[in-house]
Structure 1
Amino acid sequence: MAEFAGGRLLLLGSSLIAIGTAGFYHLPGMIEADAGGSRLVNSIYCSTMTLTTVGYGDICPGANMDIIGRAFIVALSFCGLGMFCGPVMDFASSWTHDVPGGAIGAALTTLALGIGLFTVLEDFTETEAAYFTIVTGTTIGFGDRSPTSDAGKIAAAVFAILVINVTGGLLEPAASFLSSYCMRKDAAAIEGNGNGKKVL
């Protein structure tokens, strides 16, 4: 798993971000006309936010996006869901045992990093930066807080990939427990019926 996670995962993720960046950069109407900043930075930012399913909705998709742009975003979203719900979550559940402090230590360190980054780059208060970090890590991405500077957008794009992985590692024990709980309940219902048919 480590070889796949290290090499192939990085290659796949980088390729998807590059494809997304090219689409946001070249397709008309993909980014709001008044977004400000560098078009390339905005394209990288929008690509990453779409792939990670954070989607703040601040500068992308643009209001004048055509059917080709919409089809591109749908395809990119499915690639992002496949990537982040599959290989990235598998990777997130594998590294937590190797980090001092485990998932909780990594989560607290990542929260502190997010607070430090976004208080400096975006002039967020510590509370706003903590909120932004958690909303990004859980992929909720409400959009009430989002980066506006080019440096903040690049930091948010890179940070989103990190914080989602850490959040996945933090939530993995809960996901495993719920999965096993539901499976045992289902198996007990089948066994308890006596005739092999499911009882709900």
Structure 2
Amino acid sequence: MVAIKIVRAVNKYSDAAMIEIDVLQKLARNDATGKHCVQIRNWFDYRNHICIVCEKLGPSLYDFLRKTAYRPFPIDLVRELGEQLLESVAFMHALKLIHTDLKPENILLVSSEDAKLAENKDGSFSKKVPKSSAIKLIDFGSTAYDHQDCSYIVSTRHYRAPEVILGHGWSYPCDIWSIGCILVELCSGETLFQTHENLEHLAMMERVLGPLPRHMLERAEYVY
């Protein structure tokens, strides 16, 4: 069984698809066991639609959360997922690659099977959890090499690091920030920074973490 990602025949999407293919092939060459990231099998062009053939995996963490009404994951499961996320991102960073778009939608469970966890006092089963905690990263269309221009906006809003919002440019730490946001979301069942506006986003960060360092504010390219 395989999964096929079909990319619309639009130049910007086709360009991103070719970047993704290049990254997937690089990852495959350096990850013989296929432990960290989805494995590419092949790719082809069908009537100007780039088609990427990969191994078939299970649902995303986002899909699993949605299916279970956004109920928080058990803390032990979050710990296991966090360890794998950090290992996978460390693997990419060692290859001088920055994912730039880590979010629950781009983290897939390896298996589609789930199990039930007893959490009621009478011993009845009422909470579904993944049967296996094994995960892999997907969606490398926005992945950047560390020597590339890093002045443009990256990351989906809710997982975007403060240096990106302030216009400092970005590097490997933006992936680590995203992981932190993801783990809090898995623990709580709610997006940590639920906003679509920069000033509010920064204010929410300060509410959680305290004031942003002065040196970051003084270097900000954008003033809010």
TM-score, with normalisation over the residues of structure 1?
Answer: 0.29
Higher helix share: 1
Tell me: higher relative CO, structure 1 or 2? Use CA pairs within 8 A at least 6 residues apart: 1
Higher strand share: 2
Question: Which entry has the higher C-alpha Rg, 1 or 2?
Answer: 1
